[in-house]
Chain A
């Protein structure tokens, strides 16, 4: 397949490389699946014969995104999403590397399953696709999985997806053992007992709607326990999705004390707040729930300062039948890979965060965290590159989304800016025309 990878020259671009904190007008040359040069004035004369020359007309050229938390229904829930459809959606959203959750059916908790999805992905996906493996067998929170063998098979990290491990002893042992293999533990920090019947953020809005609230303490209690265990064991620990200002204090303290702790938040939690639930909009039911506006602002500030390392889609396709229900009975989850970057640009346009910082949290940092190539425009890096139009307004039409499910909280929303070209390993896999 290497033969159809013609060199590509992206000219008249605004080159934004968050890995080097660079933002300058210039050109970028891609050949043999690698970035050759990124500088001012490469020009058509200095490129190999047969190079495809693309005039970017001032659009942004940036590293492709790495999305570290997405549900893909293959195997077991192909009606929700397949590796192929997820990768199409990813390409359309500028995501060149997708990391899937292990809560498939069956669960990805043994090496053969890792092997299976990676082979399926190689045959059907158009972006780089990786998987995490389960932290405990069957996601049951009781026995740890084979970290060594799973890692050798290609699992990037260990997580029980949207389940929290409530037994602190199990978590301690898992972290202790993971440390020996330098395995990364990714954990959903929500105490299920404190969540109880809760379905949205606890507070005035939940009280008015007559819905049971989820207190922020459900998150901070679990996060606090985890970071202390991380300090105790020396394990590499990553909080999968934090949502409130109080968690940032916990995180800040943990990082200051030298624990190897990182954290992500989802695009939903930095662009929406609890009021989006409005009159029982189930597309805005996510887990953990959307929080208050003050929390959203605090998360954005933490993203800008680097306290939160990664911004992810938390892509979770749910079909109509699990969403067209009374709010409390509807499944949580929102799709997000395709709209993640455009939604994130809202923050840039509102001057809440600089473009480089936003892109760093979606490309450079997640790639570093998982030890993946990409996330940089440095010469010699893998040619996972996006061309981004920052300005053009568009309205999200669920029918045009590539994902198999249409449960987007940005249904009919006006967004500014979108990915117009996605290049994976030097090959254009998506073009918006």
Chain B
């Protein structure tokens, strides 16, 4: 799906459902445009009008603070009317609401739906039932494309071209949509991608996705340019996937000593929210090599670029 093109005859180009299928050129074009939004976001007058008259609905079936507010701000800065809808998965039987909600919202003629759902593939399913553009804000353990784009923008601003950089992704790969989208994007851009995790947090078959797999963090970090840490959910720490958070931190938490195995100018990233002391030491998270706060800033810019690109494909644009 080439979202930057103005001509979008087929359905798939209306949506951003994943990084899969995006070309290097499309990604580069989106990042270039996002770069411009970084500048405008730093001005006093941040308001633009590309999405004036458009309605954007943020439909979150799973709780989120930063992604939802980032999309909200991005839409508002482009002039769209933004509505937030949080659908608690406990109040109504899971899944049953998905198609019904889609059909209901569709009847209100939104232009863009930003959707997060706890089930892999759910956003794509919903996209088939609506007439507007759909942006995947995270579906299960599948994809989270705007996170990968904002990570790429952050890397590019600090390291230059992504090609040939060594990027090590550490942590719960199995349950991470951030990892999958980043693996796809970084491969497309020509980076060398490594993953580091205990085997219980590596999905079988991951080695076929264009990554080098490490179980020893020090080896995985050796000469890395970028270290991307992933969040480990609390319920997975106590015996089900790893024995304890203490043991996890000992072997897979990013501390100063382990970071020293990476290149001296290596940079540290984390999609948030962080578990300090579980996957990352506070000193590293807040240290000079950390890009974590910049990632949040890039999030808004990248989402503006995506919203703008998709709005060009909307009818009557």
Q: Which residues of A line the B interface, CB within 8 A?
A: 202-213, 215, 279-280, 321, 324-330
- Say whether A209 contacts B121, CB under 8 Å: yes
Q: Assuming A211-B120, A280-B121, A329-B94, is B141 touching A203 (CB within 8 A)?
A: no
Q: How far is the CA of A280 from the CA of B140 in the complex (A)?
A: 13
Q: How far is the CA of A328 from the CA of B95 in the complex (A)?
A: 10
Contacts of A321 in B (CB 8 A): 96
Question: Taking the complex as formed, is B192 at the interface, i.e. its CB lies under 8 A from any CB of chain A?
Answer: no
| Distance between A277 CB and nearest chain B CB, rounded to angstroms | 10
Question: Taking the complex as formed, is B139 at the interface, i.e. its CB lies under 8 A from any CB of chain A?
Answer: yes
Contacts of B94 in A (CB 8 A): 329
Q: How large is the interface on B (under 10, 10 to 19, 20 to 34, 35 or more residues)?
A: 20 to 34
Task: Identify which of A210, A325, A330 contacts B142 (C-beta below 8 A).
Answer: A210
Considering the complex, give the chain B residue whose CB is closest to the CB of A211.
B120
- Say whether A326 contacts B203, CB under 8 Å: no
Task: Identify which of B119, B143, B203 contacts A328 (C-beta below 8 A).
Answer: B119
Contacts of B204 in A (CB 8 A): 202-203, 206-207, 213, 215
- Say whether B208 contacts A204, CB under 8 Å: yes
Q: How far is the CA of A327 from the CA of B119 in the complex (A)?
A: 8
- Say whether A206 contacts B142, CB under 8 Å: no
Supplied contacts A210-B177, A280-B121, 14 more A-B pairs, CB within 8 Å: A206-B204, A208-B20, A209-B120, A209-B142, A210-B180, A211-B120, A211-B140, A280-B120, A280-B125, A324-B125, A326-B121, A326-B122, A327-B120, A328-B140
Q: How far is the CA of A212 from the CA of B142 in the complex (A)?
A: 10
- Say whether B206 contacts A207, CB under 8 Å: yes
- Say whether B124 contacts A207, CB under 8 Å: no
Task: Identify which of A203, A213, A324, A329 contacts B119 (C-beta below 8 A).
Answer: A329
Task: Identify which of A208, A210, A325, A330 contacts B139 (C-beta below 8 A).
Answer: A210
Question: Taking the complex as formed, is B239 at the interface, i.e. its CB lies under 8 A from any CB of chain A?
Answer: no
Q: How far is the CA of A362 from the CA of B78 in the complex (A)?
A: 63
Contacts of B117 in A (CB 8 A): 326
Q: How far is the CA of A213 from the CA of B94 in the complex (A)?
A: 21
Contacts of B11 in A (CB 8 A): none
Q: How far is the CA of A324 from the CA of B209 in the complex (A)?
A: 29
* B129-181 at interface with A (beta carbon < 8 Å): 139-143, 177, 180
Considering the complex, give the chain A residue whose CB is closest to the CB of B184.
A208
Contacts of B120 in A (CB 8 A): 209-211, 280, 326-328
- Say whether A203 contacts B143, CB under 8 Å: no
- Say whether B205 contacts A207, CB under 8 Å: yes
Contacts of B119 in A (CB 8 A): 326-329
Q: Which residues of B line the A interface, CB within 8 A?
A: 20, 94-96, 98-99, 117, 119-122, 124-125, 139-143, 177, 180, 203-206, 208-209
Contacts of B142 in A (CB 8 A): 209-211
Contacts of A326 in B (CB 8 A): 95, 98, 117, 119-122, 125, 140
Q: How far is the CA of A280 from the CA of B117 in the complex (A)?
A: 14
Considering the complex, give the chain B residue whose CB is closest to the CB of A279.
B124
- Say whether A210 contacts B206, CB under 8 Å: no
Q: How far is the CA of A280 from the CA of B17 in the complex (A)?
A: 13
Contacts of A280 in B (CB 8 A): 120-121, 124-125
Contacts of B96 in A (CB 8 A): 321, 325
Q: Which 4 A-B pairs have the closest CB atoms?
A: A210-B142, A326-B119, A280-B121, A204-B205
Q: Assuming A208-B209, A326-B119, A327-B119, is B203 touching A213 (CB within 8 A)?
A: yes
Contacts of A328 in B (CB 8 A): 119-121, 140
Contacts of B141 in A (CB 8 A): 210-212
- Say whether A325 contacts B95, CB under 8 Å: yes
| Distance between A263 CB and nearest chain B CB, rounded to angstroms | 25
| Distance between A386 CB and nearest chain B CB, rounded to angstroms | 39
- Say whether B121 contacts A206, CB under 8 Å: no
Contacts of A279 in B (CB 8 A): 121, 124
Contacts of A213 in B (CB 8 A): 203-205
Considering the complex, give the chain B residue whose CB is closest to the CB of A203.
B205
Q: Assuming A210-B139, A326-B120, is B98 touching A205 (CB within 8 A)?
A: no
Contacts of B208 in A (CB 8 A): 204, 207
| Distance between A206 CB and nearest chain B CB, rounded to angstroms | 7
Contacts of B124 in A (CB 8 A): 279-280
- Say whether B95 contacts A208, CB under 8 Å: no
- Say whether B143 contacts A202, CB under 8 Å: no
Considering the complex, give the chain B residue whose CB is closest to the CB of A328.
B119
- Say whether A206 contacts B99, CB under 8 Å: no
- Say whether A208 contacts B180, CB under 8 Å: yes
| Distance between A215 CB and nearest chain B CB, rounded to angstroms | 8
| Distance between B72 CB and nearest chain A CB, rounded to angstroms | 24
Residue contacts A-B, CB under 8 angstroms, 23 given: A204-B209, A205-B205, A206-B204, A208-B20, A210-B121, A210-B139, A210-B177, A211-B120, A211-B140, A211-B142, A213-B204, A215-B204, A279-B124, A280-B120, A321-B96, A325-B99, A326-B122, A327-B120, A327-B121, A328-B140, A329-B94, A329-B119, A330-B95
